[in-house]
Structure 1
């Protein structure tokens, strides 16, 4: 199977899921349990992506400069720093630690 067939198949499946989402009856979406899940799902997905990108290298767990950058970002967020400042602080922290020789 070529890569294009896989890409086109995945695109068709994604589009079918999107169209199927429009056919869900509104009364199902208004249930309290569904509302709670849909409110928390984006935060959970974002948190899982951050953890995966920060603490993994390939198929191995890693504790390196990215973790320190994340820690600095969390502290900056707790201090209510603007988002751009948070990103810059995290990037500078990770860069300085890598320059210093930390993996």
Structure 2
């Protein structure tokens, strides 16, 4: 099997698996019931995982600290999102803050 054939096969298998997972939700929703405690824990787990992803992306670059400018930009974006600014405004505020700090020489 050539590498191109293997790549196409792996892509097809991953695509089929993704489709199966997405289809399983609506199909099994009527058959599987979760307790209210499990639903609450699942909701909390989603928030914790997203928070960890944001923290990792904001604070690290490669294997080290990303510098001060990026976390400050993320904090400004978070503040704008908390104040219910439009998504575009949140992204622009975070990017402008980070760019301005880097332009001023803050790493």
Structure 2 Cα separation of the partners of residues 61 and 34 of structure 1: 36
- Give the stretch that moved more between structures: 45-54 or 61-70: 45-54
Structure-1 residue corresponding to 2:85: 82
Structure-1 residue corresponding to 2:7: 3
Tell me the CA shift for residue 71 of structure 1. Answer: 2.0
Structure-1 residue corresponding to 2:99: 95
Aligned length, in residue pairs: 101
Cα displacement string for residues 6-40 of structure 1 (whole angstroms, at most 9, x for unaligned residues): 22221111122223334435363342123213433
Q: Secondary structure at the match of 1:28?
A: coil
Tell me if the contact between 1:29 and 1:35 (Cα under 8 Å) persists in the aligned partners. Answer: no
Point out 4+ residue stretches in structure 1 off by more than 6 angstroms: none
1:24 aligned onto 2:38: no
2:64 to 57, 61, 76: 61
Cα displacement string for residues 29-69 of structure 1 (whole angstroms, at most 9, x for unaligned residues): 342123213433443343233223212223x1323221110
State the TM-score, normalizing by the size of structure 1: 0.69
Matches of residues 17-56 of structure 1 in structure 2 within 5 Å?
17-24=21-28, 26=30, 28-56=32-60
Q: Secondary structure at the match of 1:29?
A: coil
Tell me the CA shift for residue 93 of structure 1. Answer: 0.8
- Where in structure 1 are there 5+ consecutive unaligned residues? none
Tell me if the contact between 1:76 and 1:86 (Cα under 8 Å) persists in the aligned partners. Answer: yes
RMSD: 2.7
Decide whether aligned partners of structure 1 residues 17 and 92 sit closer, same or farther in structure 2, where only a CA change above 3 A counts: same
